[in-house]
Amino acid sequence: MSVGLVVVSHSRKLAEGVCELAAQMAADVRIVPAGGTDDDGIGTSLEKIMTGISATDSGEGTVLLTDLGSAVMTAESALEFLEPEQQHRVLMADAPLVEGTVAAAVAAQTGKNVAEVTAAAESAGASYTPAGTQPDDGSAGPPASGASAEDSASGAWTLVNPMGLHARPASVVAQLLADLDAEITINGVDGKSVMMLMTLGLRPGETLSATATGPDAARAVELLAEQVRNGFGEI
């Protein structure tokens, strides 16, 4: 079993909607909503969160994603109620609800552990920076050292599927590349980050350019080319 997720929101509908969205990209992950008060009013419920944790923690752990103020506090309170042996594997992510849940779901789907899933959610906050204005921290270019010429590959393709690089294809790409031993940059962003790919907002007819470095670079570009050509399975 993978790491599970509990989506804590003030609103029952919001929590359910976020779960629905994330589940599209992570069919095997237990993602449970804990939205609204016990009588489904606006607010958060300790009981719903505790029930959510029980339903999602298979022993691999659970990550809690929250929306505003009191949701954070109620989730923190829930952690205090856990048995000591469960406390180390139930974590709360400091992440935006939608982006964080989606990123966590994809990470959990690819078999990451609870700390990695939490980190994936938290790094999704970075996607708030509009595409094209990413701080130049060097991640957008090939590494300065460590990769020889034989270890790099690149390619560019036109998107042919009718919806472009929306959520589902972005998740397909990120999962495809996740386990490869290569740094992959797609149109200037990290190709292994589903959130970063989504911020590109690439539309049909636009060009997806990839540069990969590392031992699996050629394989990464090959797999990517195949996905783009068959429209991420959507055509």
Partner 1 sequence: MELDAAWADKWMRLSATALNENRQRLTTLDREIGDADHGENMERGFSAVVEKLDADGVPETPGAVFKTVAMTLMSKVGGAAGPLYGTAFLRASTAAGSASVLDPAGLVAVLTAARDGIVARGKAEPGDKTMIDAWTPAVDAAVTAEAAGSGPVEILTAAANAAEAGLAGTEPLVARKGRASYLGERSAGHLDPGAASTALILHAAVSAAETAA
- What's the CA gap between 8 and 127, in Å, rounded? 21
Give the full edge-to-edge strand order of the sheet including 31-35: 31-35, 4-9, 62-66, 90-92
Q: Is 211 in the site for partner 1 (CB under 8 A)?
A: no
Q: Which is nearer to partner 1, 54 or 207 (CB)?
A: 54
Three-state secondary-structure class, residue 127: helix
Q: Does 69 help bind partner 1 (rule: CB under 8 A)?
A: yes
Tell me which residues in 189-208 interact with partner 1 (CB under 8 A).
none
Whether 88 sits among the annotated catalytic residues: the reply is no
Please tell me the count of residues contacting partner 1 according to CB under 8 A.
17
Cβ contact 91:114 at 8 Å? yes
Q: Is the CB of residue 206 less than 8 Å from the CB of residue 161? A: no
Residue reference for tokens 């708030």:
128
| Closest to partner 1 by CB, 47 or 179 | 47
Which of 13, 20, 58, 76 contacts partner 1 by CB under 8 A?
76
Measured CA distances, 107 to 53, 90, 114 (Å): 18, 16, 9
**Catalytic residue (one of 4, 6, 9, 10):** 10
Return the residues of window 9-68 that contact partner 1 according to CB under 8 A. 37-38, 41-48
Closest approach of partner 1 to the CB of residue 81, in Å: 8
Decide if residue 94 touches partner 1 (CB under 8 A). Answer: no
In contact, 6 and 51? CB cutoff 8 Å: no
Residues forming contacts to partner 1 in the complex (CB under 8 A) are: 37-38, 41-48, 69-70, 73-74, 76-77, 80
Active site residues: 10
